[in-house]
Amino acid sequence: MSILINKDTKVIVQGITGRDGAFHTAKMKAYGTQVVGGTSPGKAGQQVEGVPVFNTVEDAVKATGADASVIFVPAPFAADAIMEASYAGVKLVVCITEHVPVQDMIRVTPVLQKNGTKLVGANCPGLITPDECLIGILPAMIFKKGNVGLISRSGTLTYEVVNMLSESGLGQTTCVGIGGDAVSGLYFIDLLEMYENDPATEAVVVIGEIGGDAEEQAARFIKEKMTKPVVAFIAGQSAPPGKRMGHAGAIISSGSGTAEEKIKAFKAANVPVAKEPREIPGLVKEKLGL
Amino acid sequence: MPEGVVCHSVDEVKKKVSDKDKLRVVKAQVHVGGRGKAGGVKLATTKAEAIEKAKQILGMDIKGITVEKILVADAVDIEKEFYVGLINDRNTKSVTLMASAEGGVEIEEVAKVSPEKIIKLTIDPAMGLMPWQARKISLQLFSDPKQIRQCADILVKLYQLYIETDSSLAEINPLVLTPDKQVLAIDGKMNFDDNALFRQKDIIAMREADKDEQKEIEANAKGLSYIKLDGNIGCMVNGAGLAMATMDMIKLYGGEPANFLDIGGSSNPQKVIDAMNILLSDKNVNSVMINIFGGITRCDDVARGLVAALDQINTDVPIVIRLSGTNAKEGLEIIEQTGLPVVKTMREAAQKAIELSKK
């Protein structure tokens, strides 16, 4: 078992004819992901890496039965691409594009709710269920099938941690990079709930960073709702105070978003927090009694 | 808003401000908070006094920024202060309107001690802030029908401005009621979304930056994210999370990072050249740690950029490199030709960079 994606997931690539779209289409296919189509307006009938190109997501879904999409279009067009996929009935949309304006993401949110679409990202590396399906830009060779779930706000830091988990014999059920933007699709608590309900997942690693209060919310959720063990890491412990937010920011986040506060929240929920990434595998093993 | 004029020089103050004696406030116009405490806001009762205060404030330094313009405005008698603000709220994934009858400088304290005194409204992005919603909020701040309408009008306009300019924060603090029963916006602050600046040419034109920020903006234009710090170990990393973890690691093992530098995804070799130039322009840097875990960034691209950069830049600052992930094998083959030290893990890289920085 896994969460969100498995060997039956059919994926289309929005922006398949671009440099990154084409490169990662090849990588995803090589991993065994069912990449069934791509979109690029006006380029229907072409092929990229042996994958048929369609003009619209709607055409691609009709022809292929795709239930997931991955977006590689430039930032000014990313929100439009997410909404196109949502209205075409795609159930899971993964937006890799970085620098998407926040107001665009705010406009996207009610559309996702209305159509029942799950969004991962934007500004994320994607997700993977090892040996079954990879969607996004994650470097495949570091992942290993197993029983640990992983959620991260960071991209490359995820690779770092996964690499250490795999090297120490801890495989993964599904790893999800949710992205570091202020407003994005699935948050920590949405995924923690999925892992809690996934029979194959026995422990979860949460990789957070400074800013916002997603980690504090995750800690509260873990304390109240989770039976499975969770281990955390927070990036940015040495970061100097960031750009000042106005009064409204302080009011909304009800905290300053510092690493100390997040670590404190996790410890209060009986979640051990690693001092450096290398400690994570040991902490997971301890929790699993290995 | 109260009547006022913006002036860039003392001469301009002489020309634009009327001879009439009245209480005026002279305010430094700078993009930082805390200007009042820094002496950037002064009262004047006559024109001569306003000119005197303008002389004092123009050219003064507030948190590293030179005051180049001032606002000379009629001072306003205040009967009561309110707070209204808009912000992008991560939790509701929407723009949230906040208002409080307890405005002024202590609003953060109000939020902490008595959060029930802050009224919040989540705005539907498809509908926007409707007049009836704005009135509903205003009704909780004012009781006079005219004041309610004035406040609601201000809120609707503030929301329109917020959306039009891709703001991430817009607040009026204080919004005041004067003894002659006018609702006026006395002071305000707006933050803007960096990601949306590509469609906000007017906002970019208003940007003012100090020296360090200038460097950050230059880096940004090249697709890099750079923040200068006070240490001596330069770092170049791909991805913000890994870049922060790299700084944490340097600190954990007893070093001091000189910067945060994220070369982002989808890097081309030119980005690495630009990144090295920015890193080495900081004269405090006496060793460099390059930490790349390739995903969308291909290690061979980074390696090629690095070789090209070292061809162009004459430096004797020692460099330690760690490459992992996508196309790492190809990247390492390219690096081998340079003879630079390559290590396997991020911990080793941090330790080596610290060691090199001490030589």
Chain A residues with CB under 8 Å of B166 CB are 101-103
- Choose, out of B167, B228, B296, the residue to mutate when testing the contact with A (most A CBs < 10 Å): B296
Strand order in the sheet with B24-28: B4-7, B70-74, B24-28, B41-44
Using DSSP's 3-state secondary structure scheme, residue A214 falls into helix
Q: In chain B, count of helices (H) and strands (E)?
A: 12, 17
Min Cα distance B266 → chain A (Å) is 7
Q: What is the DSSP string of A157-194?
A: HHHHHHHHHHHTT--EEEEEE--S-SS-SS-HHHHHHH
- Inter-chain contact B242–A155, Cβ cutoff 8 Å? yes
- Inter-chain contact A209–B251, Cβ cutoff 8 Å? no
Helix axes B240-252, B346-357, angle to 10 degrees: 60
What's the Cα-to-Cα distance from A84 to each of A80, A172, B196, rounded to whole Å?
A: 6, 32, 21
pLDDT at A41 over 50: yes
Who wins on pLDDT, A91 or B218? A91
Which residue among B85, B240, B346 places its CB closest to the CB of A180?
A: B240
Residue where the block lists tokens 């399906």: A133
Residue B337 carries which DSSP code? Answer: T
Question: Which residues 45-74 of A have a C-beta within 8 angstroms of B?
Answer: none
Query: By the 8 A CB rule, do B246 and B258 touch?
Result: no
- Inter-chain contact B163–A152, Cβ cutoff 8 Å? no
| Average pLDDT for A87-110 | 96
| Average pLDDT for A186-206 | 97
Which pLDDT band, with edges at 50, 70 and 90, does A249 fall under?
very low
> In B24-64, at which residue ranges do the beta strands (DSSP E only) sit?
24-28, 41-44, 61-62
- The whole-angstrom separation of Cα A176 and Cα A68 is 15
Rounded to 5°, the CA angle B32-A235-A248 comes to: 35
For chain A, the average pLDDT equals: 92
Q: How many CB pairs under 8 A join A and B?
A: 196
Which pLDDT score, from 0 to 100, does residue B265 have?
66
- Inter-chain contact A102–B33, Cβ cutoff 8 Å? no
| Average pLDDT for A28-51 | 96
- Choose, out of A13, A238, A253, A262, the residue to mutate when testing the contact with B (most B CBs < 10 Å): A238
For chain B, the average pLDDT equals: 89
- Half-sphere exposure (Cβ direction) of B276: Cα atoms closer than 13 Å: 25
Chain A residues with CB under 8 Å of B124 CB are 110
What's the Cα-to-Cα distance from A170 to each of B253, B293, B308, rounded to whole Å?
A: 26, 20, 39
| Average pLDDT for B9-19 | 89
- The whole-angstrom separation of Cα A254 and Cα B111 is 8
pTM of the model: 0.89
- Inter-chain contact B111–A183, Cβ cutoff 8 Å? no
- Inter-chain contact B239–A236, Cβ cutoff 8 Å? no
Min Cα distance B339 → chain A (Å) is 25
Q: End-to-end CA distance of chain B, in Å?
A: 60
Which pLDDT score, from 0 to 100, does residue B160 have?
97
- The whole-angstrom separation of Cα B323 and Cα B337 is 15
Which pLDDT band, with edges at 50, 70 and 90, does A241 fall under?
low
Length of chain A: 290
B83 a catalytic residue: yes
b/e code B23-48 from CB counts within 10 Å (16+ = b): ebbbbbbbbeeebeebebbbebeebe
Query: By the 8 A CB rule, do B149 and B79 touch?
Result: no
Which residue among B91, B171, B241 places its CB closest to the CB of A156?
A: B241
Chain B residues with CB under 8 Å of A247 CB are 83, 85, 107-108, 111, 171, 173
Residue where the block lists tokens 């896994």: A2
- The whole-angstrom separation of Cα B346 and Cα A94 is 29
Q: Tell me, yes or no, if A254 comes closer than 8 A to chain B by beta carbon.
A: yes
Q: Tokens in use for B41?
A: 């806001």
